[in-house]
Amino acid sequence: MPRPARLIALVFLLLTAFSQADHVIVTGGPTLRKWENLRVPDDQHDRWWANFIRASTLRMAEIRKAYGPAAPIVWMVYQPSYQARGREDGKPYTTWIAGLAAERRVTLVWFNSSGNFIQTLNSRPRGSVETFDFFGHSNRYAFMFDYGNEIMAVSTAWLHERDLPRLHAAIFARNAYCKSWGCHTGESMSAVWKNALGVALEGANGPTSYADVGQGTLPVVHGSWVR
C-alpha cells in the first residue's frame, strides 16, 4: 500500500476508534417478596422493586452531566427478574423500564442468562466502553444478576470472577472507569477484574445500601470504596 494510502487508512482507523464511546450500565434484578417476607425484617431485601432501576437512572444523569447530553448509554437489564417480580406485584415493570429508557434516550438491552450477558457485552466495539457500572446484588466473588428471585436467598444467574477471562478486554477504553455498586466487590473481584481486563474496577469493601436511592442519592458503602 502506498504511503499516502497507509496514512489515510491510519487516520480513518483512529477516527473510527474515537467516534464510539459507550457508557455501559448493567442492572441486576430484585428478589421476590414471597421469599423476603419469610426473613426477619432486618435481613429483608428489595421491598421496593426499583432499587437498582432508580440507582441506574441516577447514574445516567451523572454521565450526561459529565460527558454531555448526547453521551451514548447502553443499559443492560436482567429481564427475568423484572418479569417475575412484575407478575408477583401485578405491575408491568418491563414496560415501565422500557419507558424509562426511551425517556432518557438510552439503548436498552435485555439479557436473560450469564452466557447471554457475556456474549452481549463482548459485542461492543473495540475500545468503546468508556464507563461501566453495575447495580445489583453481589458478593466478594460475583455480580449476582438474580438473587432470591427463583429460589430464596440463592442466585441462579451471575458473573463470577472466574468468568472474567471470558470477557474481551479489548472492548474497554484504555482509561475506562468501572464501578460495582454492589456489596463486597472490592474484597476480591476488583483485583481479579484488573488482572483479567487491564482496567480497574472500583468496588465496596463492605456492604452497600440503596436505602436512599428513592430520594435521589446513589448507593453508599458501609466501609470504603477500593480499586
Using alpha carbons only, what angle is made at residue 69 by residues 64 and 74, rounded to the nearest 5 degrees?
60
Q: Name residue 143's beta-bridge partners.
A: 138, 159
Q: Which residues are CB-contacts of 121 (< 8 A; sequence separation ≥ 6)?
A: 24, 76, 167, 171
Q: Delimit the domains of the chain by residue range.
A: 19-226
The per-residue pLDDT for 2 is 56
Can you give the pTM of this predicted structure? Answer: 0.90
- Cα separation, 95 vs 101, in Å, equals 10
The yes-or-no verdict on residue 141 having pLDDT over 60 is yes
Which tens digit of pLDDT belongs to each residue from 54-72?
999 999 999 999 999 999 9
d(CA 68, CA 2): 39
The residues, any chain, with a CB within 8 Å of residue 208's CB and separated by 6 or more, are 181, 182, 183, 219, 220, 221, 222
pLDDT at 18 (0 to 100): 47
Assess whether pLDDT exceeds 50 at residue 76: yes
Identify the CATH class of 19-226. Answer: alpha beta
pLDDT at 3: 57
Q: What per-residue confidence (pLDDT) applies to 206?
A: 98
The CA-atom distances, in angstroms, between 56 and each of 3, 24, 60, 138, 167 are: 48, 10, 6, 16, 22
Tens-place pLDDT, residues 156-205: 999 999 999 999 999 999 999 999 999 999 999 999 999 999 999 999 99
- Name the one residue in this structure whose C-alpha cell is 463482548: 122
Is pLDDT at 74 greater than 90 in this prediction?
A: yes
Q: What is the mean pLDDT of the chain?
A: 91
Residue 35 pLDDT: 82
For residue 6, what pLDDT is reported? 52
Instruction: Output the CA–CA distances (angstroms, integers) from residue 98 to 26, 27, 36, 59, 133, in the order listed.
Output: 14, 13, 26, 17, 19
